[in-house]
A and B are shown apart, each in its own frame.
Chain A
Amino acid sequence: LEERYEIASDAILSDYQKIRGELPEKEAVIAEYFGVFTQEELFGIIDSVENFCDEKGKSVGFERRLIYLIIESIQNIMFHSEKKISVKPKSYVVVYECDNVYTVLTSNIIETKKVFELKKNLTTLLSLESEKLTKLYEEKIQNPKINKEKHGGLGLISMTHKSGQEFSYDMVEISEELSLFRFELKLQYKINAWKK
């Protein structure tokens, strides 16, 4: 299993290099990381985003929402990475800005057998009308449950909710067992839409 994850990590690295190579020059990369994620890497990325938003004079409200999306994206990778192997699998995040649209792009390895279910969930979340999505989010809060992995199971719903359903995803099969899951969230900065 470890060997298969090593091969998959190489695929993630190739994907990361490809994505970085394809970003146009005018896009400002705010933060990026390739490797094994821990809270320490998350802190570093949050610091970079705070500095960038401060320098650009973005509202604190916007900054908070962007950081929220980054926390959920990265913790989604951390919490769902394979625990049975001694070396944690590698993943990446790139946070960049272009024409006031902020993108949080992550890619990690998932088990191929989970692809169908994940696709189904994401397709449902994308298809929901905004009001229904809000209702689903509220229902989850009103019936709060912690799962056996000690998580709230609210991450994907809240990311979809807070990004205004501005997300896309891609899944590429690396082997029968493992696939690459790329997830891209977008958040537009609209002047006057955010307080302070």
Chain B
Amino acid sequence: MEKIDHTATKDSPEIIFEIESNTIQILGNSFPENCDEIYEPVKRFLEQYDTNNTKVLNFSLHFNLINSTSTVYMAQIICKVADLSKQGVPVNIKWHYYEYDEEMMDLGEKLSSISDLPIEYVAVQD
């Protein structure tokens, strides 16, 4: 399966796939020059995901600063997760945002509107 782990930098998020909990975590800033190098592996990971796996596929997302291209990539990722869900894969998405950051919560809602997938919103204190 595609390796998706990525170490955080000033402009790119930490991406971790925890095998035991079957969780993909994306955390931090996301405004790199090369969004494709960071998010294309995540897209391929989802395309190659075993749809017979009955374990819940968890997403834990928490962005600080996110640029418009990263937003479009996240929308594509949500679409792929929705496809998996339609194929019977149980999925769970948590969208974290700092409690003062209404725009980030709003972005989560906009991404949620792409599909019927419910997104759990988690307000985090800074």
Contact = CB atoms under 8 A, between A and B. Distances in A.
Contacts of B68: 72, 152, 154-155, 157-158
B36 A144 contact: no
Contact of B73 (A72, A146, A162): A146
Contacts of B33: 39, 75, 78-79
Interface residues of A, number: 34
Contact of B69 (A61, A68, A151): A151
A61 B100 CA distance: 6
B32 to A, nearest CB: 7
A42 B68 CA distance: 16
Contacts of A145: 72
A60 B98 contact: yes
Interface string B4-28: 0000001100000000000000000
B104 to A, nearest CB: 8
Interface string B97-121: 0111111000000110110000000
Contacts of B65: 64, 67-68, 71
Contact of A150 (B36, B76, B101): B36
A81 to B, nearest CB: 12
A80 interface: no
B21 to A, nearest CB: 27
Contacts of A195: 99-100, 102
Contacts of B70: 152
Interface string A48-72: 0000000000011100110110011
A43 interface: yes
A196 interface: yes
Contacts of A157: 68
A160 to B, nearest CB: 11
A88 interface: no
Contacts of A10: none
Given A144-B72, A152-B68, A39 B32 contact: yes
A64 B126 contact: no
Contacts of B122: none
Contacts of B45: none
A68 to B, nearest CB: 7
Contacts of B11: 39, 42-43
Interface of B: 10-11, 31-36, 65, 67-73, 75-76, 79, 98-103, 110-111, 113-114, 126
Given A141-B72, A152-B70, 18 more contacts: A59-B100, A60-B126, A61-B100, A61-B101, A75-B33, A140-B72, A141-B75, A144-B73, A144-B114, A145-B72, A146-B69, A146-B76, A150-B34, A150-B36, A150-B69, A151-B69, A158-B71, A196-B99
